[in-house]
Amino acid sequence: MSVKIIPDRCRGCGRCLTVCPGDLIALDSSLAAIKEPELCWGCAACLKTCPYEAIALYLSPAQGGRGLKLTIKKDGTTLFWKATAPDYQTVIVTDSAKAKDY
Ligand code: SF4
Ligand code: SF4
């Protein structure tokens, strides 16, 4: 499991820094960066708080995650989770009615 910042989406707002329970995220040249990725335990707090969908959580095949990439889109206070396979096919979206815009 690993968390990655998507640089072209990050706007450097700093919100993810304030919610990481391990204090693992810092700003580097106005972009979020995971300081010690090996210490991340995949709680997804940073994904949930980022307003710009700039963080992705990868589930490794070794952990039964098939290499899926998890991202979250916010609609008001509702979070919609999206799982994308390595071949870019969306395999899971928590609300199919909302998936059209995702
Ligand atoms: S919350 Fe999102 S946009 Fe803001 S610094 Fe973190 S990754 Fe970047
Ligand atoms: S998934 Fe959790 S532990 Fe990992 S960087 Fe994000 S907030 Fe921190």
Question: Are the C-beta atoms of residues 15 and 5 closer than 8 Å to each other?
Answer: no
Is the pLDDT confidence value at 63 over 70? no
The residues spanned by each domain of the chain are 2-99
Q: Does domain 2-99 have CATH number 3.30.70.20?
A: yes
Cα–Cα distance measured from residue 93 to residue 71, given in angstroms and rounded to the nearest whole number: 10
Sorted by sequence, the CB contacts under 8 Å of residue 40 that are 6+ apart come out as: 1, 2, 3, 22, 24, 34
> Beta 25-28 vs 2-5: how paired, if at all?
unpaired
Q: What is the pTM of this model?
A: 0.85
CB of 3 sitting under 6 A from ligand 2: yes
CA 10 to centroid of ligand 1, rounded, Å:
5
Per residue in 37-60, pLDDT tens?
999 999 999 999 999 999 999 987
